Structures are given as structure tokens and as C-alpha cells.
């Protein structure tokens, strides 16, 4: 199939034409959430942009298989194998078992994704399901000399690789800063950059989840899970691996090290990384404790899809700063947009030529390193253009397969709650205002008249303490 798509590949540090291993097919992997707490809207920015990438690939014609892991074991609070186990920390905080915490926050994660119209990947696999695969891979790494046992743990030996820092020209020292806020030297490591594949000498006596292994009872490191889960479902070759930029080092660097060591060939061709969402205090992170969630936005009256719209307005390779002021502006822009689309008359002839022309412009924007704000500009241009309503409506419906912000259903969804269409709703509200004014002027006869006019149209109004309410008769 013709390759139109190009995007930035962290591996080559260039915007590259996308050529999958198998024509027309895409094997895609996403690092899933660590389920010890709710996802914050920063995490969800990454998942929204990865969802956009997947949907764009499908839209331009690829058959995508996307796999995601759920990190329910092994992720320590410092990415450099030190600190507390994040899951254990969550369980202690809530006085529950690790598995209870994992189940609760996995469900919460997918509930948030659903509110943001993020498609669930084709395969979702929790790390605790794949212990046998992890052990088999680690055994192979020991056999081939890429891993060693020291002090009861199994480590990957990074000195055995021709190149370890595949993503960066930085030196080891520079890279280790940042991941090592809580520096704690592990004397078992032969090289500073070596990392744990399997822990048996856990520093936590109360580590809940442990499994038998050839090296003793223990649990896996974080990095090995993504290598094994992706190979289990996508095989030896992968096209695109996604994650937030904080995953580049050490997580993705270590994934490549162990995967290519075990496979003996290049593993993944394209690395797609989403930049961070920041608030005024800097990068949003779960460990900060106080963070923004989808539920919090909802409790403040925001539509989660307005947050998605906000993310789509900026490029995935730029840091994005969150503020309520911007979200307020986005809310009114979004509402105007969906209202405008709701007034389009769906019935009528679709101008196929115009449809193809705008669809091509939309695809071109997204195929150009996922320029989502440009894709939204194409949407606005199309709505302004001199083409039939039916064509506009069909295009909005089509673009929403990728943008997923309920362009054609948002307004209807509002009115299904009330059971009337947008035009009728506007009429009712206008009449209610008119009646209020009449009552204020003590013109009760006119107020009653308005009540009857509405009743004739099948609408009952009630005066309540919270104000005037209406419903269908």
C-alpha cells in the first residue's frame, strides 16, 4: 500500500516515512499504566496521542494490532531499580492487597479512557499473567551471557552490548542524573547502567507478590515485562513502540537492550514518544500525590472530551501546559463547534469530489508527523466552505473516527437526556425567560399563557426552589 504517513522516530531523531515490516499491517505496542493510583491527565495525554496515532494509521488504511501491558508488579519508585515498589506503596496507602489495588485502578484507568474516547488496545495483558515468559527470557539471557546473578538478583550486563544508549548521544553520567533522585548504589551491579531482571533479595520483607523461579522466590523487574508481553503477542518484529518521553531512559533503553540481546536482531523500528503535560509547578506526576484526574475535571463541571480537544490542539512533541483558564476557553470553543455541526442538515446529496478533497487534506495533516491542530483547522475550513450540509456532516462524522470528540453526537447526546432536539430546547428556554419576565412585571395572565403554549407542545414547566424546570409531558 502507498505510504503517506511520516512521524518523528526517537531512534533516528528524524521525521521518517513510516514503512511497516509487513505491507499494510502495523504491530504497535504501548507501555500501559502502573496501576497503583488513578491515571493523571498527564498520563492520559500520552494515551490520547497514542490513540490518535493508532486511529490515524487505521484511517489511512493500515490494519493495526495494538498491545498494551498493565504494570501490576516490579515498578519501583525510582526507575533505576531503587526505592519502594509502587504497587506495594499503593496497597499500604489504602490498606488493601496488591491485587485489589491493581484491579481497582485498572478498571479506573479504562473508565477514564472510555470517557476520553480512547480505544482499548486489541490486547491488554497484566504483567502478573506472564511470569513464565519472563523467566524463560531471563534464562535465555543468562545462557547467552547477557545476564548474571549477584547478591541473589539477576542483572542485565549492559557492557555486553555494542551500543547501550541507543536513543541518545549523552554520556552515561548525564543520563543517570534525573532518574536517580534517590541515588542508592547497588553494589551487586558490574556496571552502573546494569539493571535488574529478577529480584530475589527484595529489600521489602512484605513484598506480596512472589513467584518460584530457578533463582529462588522473587519477582520480575519492570523492563522485562514490556519486552516479553510485546513479543508474546506481536512476535519478533515490531513496527511502533509508544510511551511518554520519561520512558525513553531507562525503560525503553533497557527494553531494547534485553529484547535485541535475546532475539539477536533489531526489534522495533519506530519509537513514538509523547511530551509531557505540565502544570505551573512542572511535570505532572503521580508520585507528587496531588494530581489532576478525569474525575476531578468532571466534578468541576468539565466535559472530559474538552480535555481531549485541548490535547489535540497542540503537537504531541511539544510540552503542554495545563490551566483551568485554557480549559474554559476550550469548553466554549468546543461547544460552539459541536453546536454548529448539530445545525447541519444531514439529509441530501453528498458531494463525493469535495468529500474526497477534504478527507485528503485531513489525512495529509495527520500524516505529517501527526499534526492534529492542522487537522482541526481542516475541519473548520471545511465547515466554512461552500459545500452542502450533507457533505459537511458526512466529513465531520468521518473526521471524528480519528479525532474522537463526538463531533456529530455531542449535541444529540445532550438532548437525548431531555428528549427534545437542540432547536426545541432553545425555544423552551426562550419561553421560560419570557415567562420569568412576565411574572416580574406581575403580568400573570401572560405567564399562564406561556405555560399553556408550552403544554400544547408537550412540555410541562414547574416552579421549584432551584428555579424553573421543564420536562416532556
* 225 to 264: interface string for Zn ion, x by CB under 5 A: -x--------------------------------------
The option from Zn ion, ligand AMP, none interacting with 285 (CB < 5 to 8 A, set by class) reads ligand AMP
> In the complex with Zn ion, which residue's Cβ is closer, 31 or 130?
31
Choose among 300, 328, 302, 330: nearest CA to 314: 330
Which of residues 43, 158, 367, 404 is near ligand AMP by CB under 6 A? 43
> In the complex with Zn ion, which residue's Cβ is closer, 229 or 365?
229
Rounded Cα–Cα distance for residues 383 and 396 (Å)? 9
The option from Zn ion, ligand AMP, none interacting with 284 (CB < 5 to 8 A, set by class) reads ligand AMP
> In the complex with ligand AMP, which residue's Cβ is closer, 30 or 342?
30
Choose among 10, 15, 16, 17: nearest CA to 169: 10
Enumerate the H helices of 60-130 as residue ranges: 86-94, 98-115
CB of 87 to ligand AMP, least distance (A): 11
Interface of this chain with ligand AMP, residues 226 to 285, rule: CB under 6 A? 243-244, 246-247, 274, 276-277, 283-285
CB contact at 8 A, 141 and 133: no
The option from Zn ion, ligand AMP, none interacting with 226 (CB < 5 to 8 A, set by class) reads Zn ion
Stretch that binds Zn ion, among 24-32, 34-42, 89-97, 177-185 (CB under 5 A): 24-32
Q: Does 31 bind Zn ion (CB under 5 A)?
A: yes
> Which helix (DSSP H) or strand (DSSP E) does residue 179 occupy?
helix 172-179
Choose among 80, 5, 64, 58: nearest CA to 30: 64
- Cα–chain center distance at 155: 31
CB of 214 to ligand AMP, least distance (A): 28
The option from Zn ion, ligand AMP, none interacting with 45 (CB < 5 to 8 A, set by class) reads ligand AMP
- Cα–chain center distance at 251: 18
Binding-residue total with Zn ion (CB under 5 A): 2
Stretch that binds ligand AMP, among 10-18, 39-47, 156-164, 418-426 (CB under 6 A): 39-47
How many other C-beta atoms can be found within 10 angstroms of the C-beta atom of residue 132? 11
Helix (H, G, I), strand (E, B) or coil at 9: strand
DSSP per-residue codes, 309-324: HHHHTS-TTS-EE--H
CB contact at 8 A, 52 and 200: no
> In the complex with ligand AMP, which residue's Cβ is closer, 32 or 218?
32
The residues that touch ligand AMP, with contacts defined as CB under 6 A, are 31, 33-34, 42-43, 45-46, 71, 243-244, 246-247, 274, 276-277, 283-286
Amino acid at each position: 500500500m502507498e505510504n503517506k504517513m511520516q512521524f518523528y522516530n526517537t531512534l533516528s531523531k528524524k521525521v521518517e516515512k513510516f514503512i511497516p515490516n509487513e505491507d499494510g499491517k502495523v504491530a504497535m505496542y504501548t507501555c500501559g499504566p502502573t496501576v497503583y493510583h488513578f491515571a493523571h491527565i498527564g498520563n492520559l495525554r500520552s494515551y490520547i496521542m497514542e490513540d490518535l496515532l493508532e486511529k490515524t494509521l487505521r484511517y489511512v488504511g493500515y490494519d493495526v494490532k495494538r498491545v498494551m501491558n498493565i504494570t501490576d508488579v516490579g515498578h519501583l519508585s525510582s526507575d533505576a531499580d531503587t526505592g519502594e515498589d509502587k504497587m506495594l506503596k499503593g496497597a499500604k496507602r489504602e490498606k488493601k492487597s496488591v491485587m485489589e489495588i491493581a484491579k481497582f485502578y485498572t478498571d479506573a484507568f479504562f473508565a477514564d479512557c472510555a470517557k476520553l474516547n480512547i480505544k482499548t488496545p486489541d490486547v491488554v495483558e497484566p504483567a502478573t499473567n506472564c511470569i513464565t515468559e519472563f523467566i524463560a527470557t531471563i534464562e535465555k539471557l543468562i545462557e547467552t551471557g547477557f545476564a548474571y546473578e549477584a547478591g541473589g538478583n539477576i542483572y542485565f550486563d549492559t557492557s555486553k552490548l555494542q551500543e547501550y544508549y541507543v536513543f541518545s548521544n549523552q554520556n552515561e553520567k548525564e543520563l543517570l542524573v534525573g532518574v536517580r533522585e534517590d541515588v542508592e548504589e547497588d553494589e551487586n551491579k558490574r556496571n552502573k547502567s546494569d539493571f535488574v531482571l529478577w529480584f530475589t533479595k527484595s529489600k521489602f520483607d512484605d513484598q506480596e507478590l512472589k513467584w518460584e523461579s530457578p533463582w529462588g522466590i522473587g519477582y520480575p523487574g519492570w523492563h522485562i515485562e514490556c519486552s516479553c508481553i510485546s513479543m508474546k503477542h506481536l512476535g519478533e518484529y515490531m513496527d511502533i513502540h509508544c510511551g511518554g518521553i520519561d520512558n525513553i531512559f531507562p525503560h525503553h533503553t533497557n527494553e531494547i537492550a534485553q529484547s535485541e540481546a535475546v532475539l539477536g536482531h533489531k526489534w522495533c523500528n519506530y519509537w513514538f514518544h509523547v511530551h509531557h503535560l505540565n502544570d505551573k509547578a512542572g511535570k505532572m506526576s503521580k508520585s507528587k500525590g496531588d494530581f489532576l484526574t478525569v474525575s476531578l475535571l468532571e466534578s468541576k463541571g468539565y466535559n472530559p472530551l474538552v480535555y481531549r480537544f485541548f490535547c489535540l490542539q497542540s503537537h504531541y512533541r511539544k510540552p503542554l501546559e495545563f490551566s483551568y483558564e485554557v480549559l474554559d476557553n476550550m469548553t466554549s470553543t468546543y461547544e460552539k463547534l459541536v453546536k454548529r455541526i448539530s445545525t447541519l442538515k444531514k439529509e441530501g446529496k453528498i458531494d463525493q469530489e469535495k468529500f474526497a478533497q477534504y478527507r485528503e487534506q485531513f489525512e495529509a495533516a495527520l500524516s505529517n508527523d501527526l499534526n492534529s491542530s492542522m487537522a482541526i483547522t481542516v475541519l473548520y475550513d471545511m465547515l466554512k466552505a461552500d459545500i452542502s450540509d450533507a457533505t459537511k456532516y458526512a466529513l465531520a462524522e468521518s473526521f471524528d473516527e480519528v479525532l474522537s470528540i463526538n463531533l456529530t453526537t455531542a449535541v444529540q447526546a445532550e438532548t437525548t437526556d431531555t428528549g427534545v432536539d437542540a432547536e426545541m430546547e432553545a425555544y423552551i428556554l426562550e419561553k421560560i425567560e419570557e415567562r420569568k419576565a412576565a411574572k416580574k412585571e406581575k403580568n400573570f395572565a401572560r405567564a399562564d399563557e406561556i405555560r399553556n403554549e408550552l403544554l400544547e407542545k408537550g412540555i410541562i414547566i414547574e416552579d421549584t426552589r432551584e428555579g424553573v424546570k421543564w420536562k416532556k409531558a
